[in-house]
Structure formats: structure tokens, C-alpha cells
């Protein structure tokens, strides 16, 4: 079959079913590629080759039995390798969140999203690098290592799901799980030239996802194409009684059609997303993609999302406030890192001081301040009111259009270390992705070109609540006519 690592996830599933490749051979091919490329990219925090081969052997047995009797029930993803962002628990596998405070944490259970995929038959290759507790836009905030962009090793892969994006872009895995609190699936997808889906808030259960911002966190997918993303997403979505925020909404079958046009689709283009300072090549590539969709029959409508300019300050009040509350559980007593001291207060202070990195400490302090007596109404309370206005902007827009098209990032991937001394510049990298999280709407990022230095450019489509189907179908149709998503970095 040639180099199986270059095949799409959809093609791999078909090949596994037909017996054209075994799961063990496929898993070994990916593990060998990881061995070759990981020293350069540093995309993984934990590799699980022994577990992966055990899962692959079991998958091959299931496939063998199914081929003898195709009336048997075959889990739909049997034998397909994936990787998991190290923010999602997998039973018996170290889960660090990119933090020293959880350096030796081995969860006794799996996240619902992970368990559903295991039940569907996947093989898990390992856990990918992330900004500590998902707090970052470059994967430079990991306590362990800096992941590099496969297209240019001097550039960041984006964050916080940078390890997952780099793994998929470099063909070390066909699919990856990520999380998106303010753009952490879509931004690295854009920087690494892959497709990234952030579902509607509540569409994929958060149980077993180690929390950053509980009203913002979403479990998402990184893939090579919309078709691959839809296939994995199908088996993650749905209600879960273990998660109070999981919505009991029917999950449709995400069957993407090879449509040759986009007639009937109304695309909204918000003026607020094409701002002064955006890299010219990014704006031009996104506008070219919108024009291409228009050429396929879509109707393009100019719209306004007037409260977009408040999304950045609103997010950086709400998310740190929720992080301050969520990270209070790491006290050096119940689990995680402990720096012993006979004084209880000192034990907690020293454990947190040694276990948390600078960015996590910064956001805890911001959030604690925003929630403190005398400031709650002025900061956190006011931010929640403006968040409602941002959500209403989207609701009004979706009365006119089916999807909203915009850039994912103001620029292509920046250099490692470029924003280290300027946290605000780093926060501005998410200016186009934050609104979707605040409104809870789904967003899909996918490649639409390259800049003059050969770095990928991404565009995002945002849609109505629980209408991931329209986003995936639109991107799939676009990808039938373009090859941006098929291009791979050379090593």
C-alpha cells in the first residue's frame, strides 16, 4: 500500500476492513515515524507503544472474526490509531496537563470522549504536549518542552493543542483529540495546516477533561480533512449524565456528501474580523477562499458582530476567574505535587509555587482578583453581561446567514520566543477565535493557503448551535476543489 502514514483516516478505516493492512502493521508504521520525527518536533509528553500494540493485536482479532462473519457488530473505528491531548484522562496513562503539579498523575478512569473512542475500537499512540492547563497560544508554556511547527522548526505550532496539531501535520498520527477554550484547537490547526473542529459547547462531554474554564472548554478534533474530522467527531458527541453541561440533544449522522457546489449556503462575512494589522497574506487567502465558495454557488452577505471588540477583555476576565476556582483543588494534599511542610498553609503555598508555571500563576492571580470582594460586579459580573451581548450578536447574524467566515489568526505562525516578554501580544493571537467560545457556537478551521515563507494560513467557519454538520459539509465541499489540506511539510 505504499506509505500508509500518508493515507487519510477514512481511507485507513476502509483498508483495515478490507484486510489491506493490519492494525499492528499500521500502528508500527506510526510508531516508527514518531521515533524518527519526535526528536525534532517534541509533540508528545507520553508515548504508549506497548499499549498501542496490544490494542492493535486485539483490533486485528476483532477484524479477523468480523471478516469471517460480517453480520457481527464491528466497532466503527477498529484498529485506527489516534493521539490524545494530555489534558484528557486515559485510564492507566500518565496525564500531566503539561504541568509539574501533575507530573506523576495516573488517572483511574478515562474521559468520556476518550472512552467512547476506545469503545469504537481506536488504538491510542500516546499523549500530546500542551500549554500548561491549556493556558497559552504557542505550546511554549508546557512545563516539559516546546513543540515545534512541522512547517518550520523555528516557529510555534500554536496552542494549546500544539502537540496534537503538530502530530497530525507531520503524519505521526492520522487523528488527534484537542481541547478548545479560546481557540486552542482552531489556532494550532491554522498554524500547522490541518483541519480543527471546536464543537458546540455541551456537544461533547467534558467528564475527564481536566478543567481550565468550565463554561468555555470544549473537546475537539484535529484531522487532515473535514471528512476525517467528521468521522472521529461522530463517535465522541452525545449526552453524558456524568457531565452536567452535556446537552441532551440528538446527534445526527455526520455523513458528508461529495457535493460539487454550495448552492443554498449563505456565508456571512463580519467586518470586525478584517482589522487593521492583520497580515496581508492571511486576509487575502481568506477572502480568496470566500470568493471560491461564492463561485461554487454560495451567497456571501456582509454582516456585523458589533461586540466583537470586547471579546478579548471579556474572555480574560471570565476564563482566569474560572481557572482560579478550578485550580484551587491543587493544594498539595489530595493529589498532585506535594512540597512537605509541617505548616498546612506553607505546604499548600510551596506546593502550588513549585508546581505551577508563570502563565498559570498569572491567570490565577487575574482570576482571583476579578472574583474578589469589591471587584466582582465591576469585573466578572460585567464581563458576563457583555458575554451575553456577544452571544446575541451571533444569534442575530444567524437569522441572515448559515455560517460565518473569518480568519483564524491575525498572522501565520510566529517565531518561538517572539512573544515571551509580551503576554498581551500572545493573548491577541486568539482575538478571532475567542468569540465562538464565549457564544458557545461551533467553529471549524481549515487550510486555505500559504504565506511567502511557506507557512499555512487557516480560515474558520462558525455556525449555529449544534449545527456542526453545515460547517463540516461546507469545508468538505471546499476541500473537494482545493488541495491545501493535502499538502505536507517535508523533513
For residue 114, give every residue at least 6 positions away whose Cβ sits within 8 Å of its Cβ, in sequence order, or none.
84, 88, 89, 90, 124, 177, 208
Separation of alpha carbons 44 and 164, rounded Å: 8
For residues 418 and 155, the answer to whether their CB atoms sit within 8 Å is: no
Beta strands 123-128; 81-85: pairing state: parallel
Task: Say whether 97 sits in a helix, a strand or coil.
Answer: coil
Number of neighbours of residue 106 by Cβ within 10 angstroms = 12
Q: Order across the sheet with 299-303: list the strands.
A: 44-47, 123-128, 81-85, 175-180, 218-223, 195-198, 443-450, 456-463, 403-407, 266-270, 299-303
Task: Say whether 136 sits in a helix, a strand or coil.
Answer: coil
Element spanning 50, H or E: helix 49-68
Element spanning 404, H or E: strand 403-407
Element spanning 468, H or E: helix 468-481
Could you give the C-alpha distances from 410 to 14, 241, 282, in angstroms and in order?
38, 39, 7
For residues 85 and 176, the answer to whether their CB atoms sit within 8 Å is: yes
Separation of alpha carbons 336 and 331, rounded Å: 8
447-482 residues labelled b (16+ CB within 10 A) or e (exposed): bbbbbeeebbbbbbbbbbbbbbbbbbbbbbbbbeee
CA angle 409, 188, 475 (to 5 degrees): 75
Element spanning 316, H or E: helix 311-326
Number of neighbours of residue 334 by Cβ within 10 angstroms = 8
CA angle 184, 313, 132 (to 5 degrees): 35
Q: Which residues are catalytic?
A: 85, 160, 184
Distance of CA 420 to the CA centre of its chain: 22
Element spanning 68, H or E: helix 49-68
Write out the E strands in 181-333: 195-198, 218-223, 266-270, 299-303
Separation of alpha carbons 101 and 355, rounded Å: 4
Amino acid at each position: 500500500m505504499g506509505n500508509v502514514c500518508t493515507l487519510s483516516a477514512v481511507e485507513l478505516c476502509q483498508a483495515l476492513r478490507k484486510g489491506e493492512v493490519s492494525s499492528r502493521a499500521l500502528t508500527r508504521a506510526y510508531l516508527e515515524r514518531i521515533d524518527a520525527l519526535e526528536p525534532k518536533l517534541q509533540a508528545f509528553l507520553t508515548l504508549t507503544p506497548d499499549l498501542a500494540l496490544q490494542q492493535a493485536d486485539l483490533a486485528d482479532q476483532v477484524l479477523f472474526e468480523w471478516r469471517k462473519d460480517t453480520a457481527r457488530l464491528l466497532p466503527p473505528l477498529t484498529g485506527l490509531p489516534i493521539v490524545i491531548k494530555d489534558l484528557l484522562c486515559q485510564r492507566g496513562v500518565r496525564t500531566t496537563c503539561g504541568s509539574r503539579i501533575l507530573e506523576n498523575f495516573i488517572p483511574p478512569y478515562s474521559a468520556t470522549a476518550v472512552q467512547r473512542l476506545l469503545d469504537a475500537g481506536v488504538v491510542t499512540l500516546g499523549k500530546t504536549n500542551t500549554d500548561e492547563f491549556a493556558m497559552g497560544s504557542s505550546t511554549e508554556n508546557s512545563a516539559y518542552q516546546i513543540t515545534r511547527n512541522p512547517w518550520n522548526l523555528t516557529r510555534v505550532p500554536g496552542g494549546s493543542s500544539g502537540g496534537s496539531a503538530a502530530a497530525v501535520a507531520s503524519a505521526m498520527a492520522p487523528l488527534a483529540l484537542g481541547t478548545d477554550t479560546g481557540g486552542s484547537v482552531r489556532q494550532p490547526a491554522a498554524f500547522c495546516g490541518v483541519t480543527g473542529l471546536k464543537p458546540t459547547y455541551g456537544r461533547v462531554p467534558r467528564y475527564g477533561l481536566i478543567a481550565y474554564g468550565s463554561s468555555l472548554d470544549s473537546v475537539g478534533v484535529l484531522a487532515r480533512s473535514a471528512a476525517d474530522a467528521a468521522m472521529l467527531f461522530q463517535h465522541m458527541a452525545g449526552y453524558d449524565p456524568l457531565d452536567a453541561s452535556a446537552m441532551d440533544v440528538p446527534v445526527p449522522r455526520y455523513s458528508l456528501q461529495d457535493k460539487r457546489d454550495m448552492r443554498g449556503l449563505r456565508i456571512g462575512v463580519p467586518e470586525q474580523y478584517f482589522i487593521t494589522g492583520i497580515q496581508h497574506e492571511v486576509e487575502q487567502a481568506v477572502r480568496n477562499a470566500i470568493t471560491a465558495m461564492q463561485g461554487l454557488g454560495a451567497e456571501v452577505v456582509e454582516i456585523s458582530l458589533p461586540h466583537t471588540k470586547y471579546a478579548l477583555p471579556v474572555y480574560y476576565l471570565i476564563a482566569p476567574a474560572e481557572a482560579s476556582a478550578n485550580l484551587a483543588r491543587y493544594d498539595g494534599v489530595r493529589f498532585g505535587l506535594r512540597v512537605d511542610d509541617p505548616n498546612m498553609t506553607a505546604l499548600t503555598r510551596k506546593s502550588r509555587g513549585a508546581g505551577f508555571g508563570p502563565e498559570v500563576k498569572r491567570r490565577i492571580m487575574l482570576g482571583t482578583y476579578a472574583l474578589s470582594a469589591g471587584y466582582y460586579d465591576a469585573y466578572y459580573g460585567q464581563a458576563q453581561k457583555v458575554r451575553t451581548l456577544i452571544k446575541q450578536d451571533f444569534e442575530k447574524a444567524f437569522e441572515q446567514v448559515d455560517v460565518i467566515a473569518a480568519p483564524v489568526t491575525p498572522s501565520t505562525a510566529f517565531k518561538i520566543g517572539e512573544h515571551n516578554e509580551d503576554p498581551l501580544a500572545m493573548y491577541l493571537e486568539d482575538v478571532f477565535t475567542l468569540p465562538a467560545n464565549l457564544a458557545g457556537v461551533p467553529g471549524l478551521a481549515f487550510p486555505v493557503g500559504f504565506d511567502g515563507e511557506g507557512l499555512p494560513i487557516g480560515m474558520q467557519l462558525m455556525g449555529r448551535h449544534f449545527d456542526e454538520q453545515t460547517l463540516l459539509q461546507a469545508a468538505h465541499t471546499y476541500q473537494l476543489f482545493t488541495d491545501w489540506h493535502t499538502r505536507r511539510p517535508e523533513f
